[in-house]
């Protein structure tokens, strides 16, 4: 995460406001412009656009295990 300039607050925002998708036994959240437009974080749209989080269920409870966090550059244009 440090190499990609992603901190824990950004991950929490992606889980809270990102577009959710279930793909290949993993949960993904992607921050898009329309996800943030009417939130208190609207002024950070340019910085947060394209952040994608991929997580899997760690066990039978609701705990998530972060697999990866990266920038989807095709969404940042």
Q: How is the chain split into domains, by residue range? A: 8-75
Residue 19 banded pLDDT, cuts 50, 70, 90: very high
Judging by beta carbons within 10 Å of its beta carbon (0-12, 13-18, 19+), is residue 46 exposed, middle or buried? exposed
* Tokens 């959710």 belong to residue: 20
Q: Which two tokens stand for residue 27?
A: 């949960």
Amino acid 74: pLDDT: 76
Could you tell me the pTM of the whole model?
Answer: 0.81
Helix/strand/coil for 37? coil
pLDDT tens by residue, 22-54: 888 888 999 998 989 999 999 999 888 889 999
């Amino acid at each position: 995460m440090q190499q990609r300039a992603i901190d824990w607050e950004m991950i929490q925002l992606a889980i809270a406001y990102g577009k959710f998708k279930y793909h290949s036994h993993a949960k993904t959240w992607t921050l898009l412009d329309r996800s943030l437009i009417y939130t208190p974080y609207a002024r950070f749209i340019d910085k947060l656009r394209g952040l994608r989080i991929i997580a899997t269920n760690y066990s039978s409870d609701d705990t998530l295990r972060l697999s990866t966090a990266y920038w989807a550059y095709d969404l940042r244009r």
